[in-house]
Amino acid sequence: MKRRVVITGLGVAAPNAIGIDKFEKALRNGVSGIKFHQVLKDLNFSCQIGGKPPVNQEIVDQYFTPLQQKGLNSSGLLYGVIAGVDAWKDAMLPVSSEEGPDWNSGIIFGTGILGVDKFREAIHLIDAGKTRRLGSTSVIQTMASGISAYLGGMLGCGNQVTTNSSACTTGTEAIIMGYDRILSGKAERMLVGSCSDDGPYVWGGFDAMRILPGNYNNNPEAASRPMSATATGFVPGSGAGALVLESLESALARGAIIYAEVLGGAVNSGGQRSGGSMTAANNDAVQRCITDALNSSGIEPNKIDYINGHLTATTRDATEIKNWTTALGRSGKDFPIINSLKGMTGHCLSASGSIESVATILQIKNQFVFENMNCEDTHAEIAGLISPQSIPKQTIETEINIAAKASFGFGDVNAVTIFKRYNN
């Protein structure tokens, strides 16, 4: 009999809020975390806005000792630790003692680029002949697996501890990887999630590609416009999201609070063929990924109540909706409710899938759907495919039993996860 996998802990460091309670309040109230950043203007960026979690020194002191803070210069690592530790504590899991690790608990925590600012600091010191001043933490802050290694040591996890990296699909892929490990019986619990650095050295490449909006620098909160006719590109964001996945048997045995159930998911690649490229998805692959996710979950397309889309506020939004209508065989008034978190947070890159999954789980648990910010003027092509009722313009209370979360990333890679409201 197939093992059941549930979600027992959540953590988030998003541009519009840190912590689950504040994040849910931000979702319900349509709070934007997109701000103007003077440093981007000083560096002559076209897009001078972005989303960064509101971390202050008081918050840093809650997660890192003074010794750990010495030389700490990796925003992604910082956000990942906050989200990961919060999810672990939210699941009411103990931190393993120094006597031995927890062999049944593991970590899959992804990232795209980690420690860019630390790299920059290291390059300047090395070029100046001051290598000895790098400090002992420069390696762990700049290696991709630094985030999973850091969390593994803090939490004492003795099962698989690793990092995945698949551009914007990273967080959603990590969930599926953790789910598969529990399903196979190789672990009882997996802390999964992803994080992303922020700042000019991460966002500069996207600005150079001219795919960021440069005409909203004086009106940052209106800049990210998923599914809108006036969308002009995605706003860069950052942060981290984390989920504790656990076998149902383990969760019930210890009396854990259960947020939702993971039914299954799928990952694939379009091979950068048939219209797919480094920056655009192969539509056949996207549709296949959706269908495979449903099949792995044992769910019929007409059972999907809600979709949390990738929807980045680019010209690809209409194509994404078209792919959903084709894969589900549903359109017009028959199409599920769909929204995009990116109107509030911007596109958090490798952290997007995990942050948006946390948002999806909160909506399932508490039976609401947050508004599609800045989508008062729905794109005509999208309006021709699905009804206005599928694109809520304000937060609504509604029944969600089964939800799909999708992420589509650079390199023509895709991931779709299916979540379900937990029922005994």
Helix (H, G, I), strand (E, B) or coil at 100: coil
Could you give the CA distance from residue 403 to residue 113 in angstroms, rounded to a whole number?
29
Same domain, 53 and 202: yes
Same domain, 164 and 181: yes
Same domain, 134 and 56: yes
Same domain, 122 and 205: yes
Same domain, 399 and 370: yes
What's the burial of 160, exposed, middle or buried (CB within 10 Å: 0-12/13-18/19+)? middle
233, 260, 287: which is the final residue of a domain? 260
Terminal CA-CA length for the chain: 16
Could you give the CA distance from residue 419 to residue 52 in angstroms, rounded to a whole number?
27
Residues of the chain scoring pLDDT < 70: none
The CATH number for 293's domain is 3.40.47.10
Give CA 61 to chain center in angstroms.
Answer: 24
Q: Residue 404 sits in which domain range?
A: 265-420
Cβ contact 143:77 at 8 Å: no
234, 260, 286: which is the final residue of a domain? 260
- Which pLDDT value is given to residue 99? 78
Cβ contact 225:338 at 8 Å: no
Same domain, 408 and 314: yes
State which H helix or E strand residue 6 sits in.
strand 5-14
State which H helix or E strand residue 9 sits in.
strand 5-14
Could you give the CA distance from residue 412 to residue 352 in angstroms, rounded to a whole number?
16
- Those residues with Cβ within 8 angstroms of residue 255's Cβ, 6 or more apart along the chain or in another chain: none
Same domain, 410 and 283: yes
Same domain, 114 and 141: yes
Same domain, 248 and 276: no
Could you give the CA distance from residue 389 to residue 2 in angstroms, rounded to a whole number?
36
226, 260, 294: which is the final residue of a domain? 260
Could you give the CA distance from residue 53 to residue 15 in angstroms, rounded to a whole number?
4
Q: How many domains does the chain have?
A: 2
Could you give the CA distance from residue 300 to residue 311 in angstroms, rounded to a whole number?
23
- Which pLDDT value is given to residue 137? 84
Same domain, 235 and 303: no
Q: Cα dihedral angle (184, 186, 187, 193), rounded to 10 degrees?
A: -70
Please report the DSSP string for 110-158 in residue order.
EESS--HHHHHHHHHHHHTT-GGGS-TTHHHHHSTTHHHHHHHHHHTB-
Same domain, 224 and 204: yes
| CB atoms near residue 100 (< 10 Å) | 9
Could you give the CA distance from residue 416 to residue 75 in angstroms, rounded to a whole number?
27
- Which pLDDT value is given to residue 198? 97
What's the burial of 97, exposed, middle or buried (CB within 10 Å: 0-12/13-18/19+)? exposed
Cβ contact 373:216 at 8 Å: no
| CB atoms near residue 376 (< 10 Å) | 11
- Which pLDDT value is given to residue 135? 83
φ/ψ of 281, rounded to 5, equals: -85, 145
What Cα–Cα distance (Å) separates residue 238 from each residue in 44, 168, 316, 329, 422?
20, 11, 21, 34, 30
Same domain, 205 and 252: yes
Give CA 3 to chain center in angstroms.
Answer: 25
